[in-house]
Structure 1
């Protein structure tokens, strides 16, 4: 699905960039220019970033 219509960025492109080490929004904005025009895509892009970062976050069990 398209996340950023202004720049034509898809969720797949975002996920790929995150998997390649773009684990901060600042990096995604530099690499893909997501959120650099109208900004309406920022909440969705941030949600995808959080979702992908949660997949790689260490799991700690509280005793």
Structure 2
């Protein structure tokens, strides 16, 4: 599912970024460009990032 329509960032992209070491919304924005245009996706991106981070601790 798309999280950021402006930059075509998906949930899968966010999970992949976490696996590559991303651990903050700032790092995520740098790597994927999520939330850099209109910003309306930032809250959803944060939720997906939190989920991905918690899943990475389990795996």
Q: TM-score by structure 1 length?
A: 0.82
* Partner SS, residue 3 of structure 1: strand
1:22 Cα deviation after fit? 0.4
Moved beyond 2 Å, runs of 4+: none
- Give me the whole-angstrom Cα distance separating, in 1, the residues matched to 2:9 and 2:52: 17
Structure 2 stretches of 5 or more lacking a match? none
Give the equivalent residue in structure 2 for 1:54: 54
RMSD over aligned CA atoms reads 1.2
- Give me the whole-angstrom Cα distance separating, in 2, the residues matched to 1:42 and 1:15: 15
Give the equivalent residue in structure 2 for 1:28: 28
Structure 1 stretches of 5 or more lacking a match? 58-63
> Which structure has greater helix proportion?
2
Q: TM-score by structure 2 length?
A: 0.87
1:17 Cα deviation after fit? 0.5
